Structure 1
């Protein structure tokens, strides 16, 4: 396996929460995992370091980087701006079929255990509500930024308070969209994204080695 493939796999593990912030990446273990020598692993780790997904610790080891409070705040502010704009443009054009589809997706999301499938369902839920905005570039930007928040899906196990809040906020958003209440929809999405943002703040430098 070449360094690009290794880097892509590790990046996916970081973004989906399999490798949590603070996790120390050991070249020997990764070489065993991928069935390669340490050289391609070292090259892959260097690329992730340059891309900001890893941080070099005081002992020169590499650990998974998390978002700082400021970075999480900045991401939240941009997402709120873009997703609020999408709602403003889309709500007047949402059909009952759109809303029924979103209800089904949210119900499936509430019961799902696999974080990867939760992510797919959540993306589909918001895409259903935003798609009628008719602005493809806006939708693409939203999708890219939502990718940076993937770790939050691992912090909402079934039966948890976080999952319940997640589900209920979606239902509240559906209700106000159905009424055409744009201002209330923006208020809900601001709070919804704010909760996700707080879940992304990096952990202390004490992660387990990988």
Structure 2
């Protein structure tokens, strides 16, 4: 429970990059001894969400520029492939469902629900691909970018761009212009990765 709660808070942006997590404070918060807290922090460190600082404390990590580039490249490759496979099989009903999800996404205040709506939107677009393994890989990688949703509040320019890019993809799909839809999707993923995911640490060379 401790591990998942802290993971959710990091991914939602409640715990920002650089935040130091202290065992004694967490033990008091969760009403446990330091041992389960120590184990939870170690699991988060192993997963890359925490890093050890020179003073041996553990702090929330930010995504480095190189991490973002790699994630972006892989996501574009996989998600464009999924859309290419799925698009010829998408029904008018599926596109209407995606539009309704996108409208809800535009109005949502909670970053956690926003993440779920975005996942649902893309799941509709890729759902007719017929490749379950590909979809599982996409879902796993999308989880690494959850912190992005806390940085696009309702009414902000990033949220509007997010909504507009989704709408453009749907417009292209509605006319069976799959190439344009895939091009917009690639740009959409690149913009999201490049401007919304926190990059507060230099590359490691």
Write the deviation string for residues 129-165 of structure 1: whole angstroms up to 9, x where unpaired: 1101111111111111111111111111111001000
* Aligned residue among 160, 172, 175 for 2:168: 172
CA RMSD of aligned residues (A): 1.4
Which residue in 1 is equivalent to 2:46? 50
Unaligned runs of 5+ in 2: none
Q: Aligned equivalents of 1:185 and 1:53: distance in 2?
A: 33
Q: Aligned equivalents of 1:71 and 1:104: distance in 2?
A: 33
Q: Give the alignment's TM-score, normalised by structure 2.
A: 0.93
* Aligned residue among 60, 63, 66 for 1:70: 66
CA contact (8 A) 1:16 1:116 kept: yes
**1:158 is the counterpart of 2:144:** no
Q: Which runs of 4+ in 1 moved over 6 A?
A: none
* Aligned residue among 3, 8, 22 for 2:4: 8
* Aligned residue among 21, 26, 50 for 1:30: 26
Q: Aligned equivalents of 2:141 and 2:73: distance in 1?
A: 11
Aligned length: 201
Q: Give the alignment's TM-score, normalised by structure 1.
A: 0.91
Q: Aligned equivalents of 2:69 and 2:87: distance in 1?
A: 26
Q: Aligned equivalents of 1:153 and 1:135: distance in 2?
A: 27
Q: Aligned equivalents of 1:145 and 1:204: distance in 2?
A: 21
Q: Aligned equivalents of 2:110 and 2:8: distance in 1?
A: 15
RCO higher in 1 or 2 (8 Å CA, sep ≥ 6)? 1
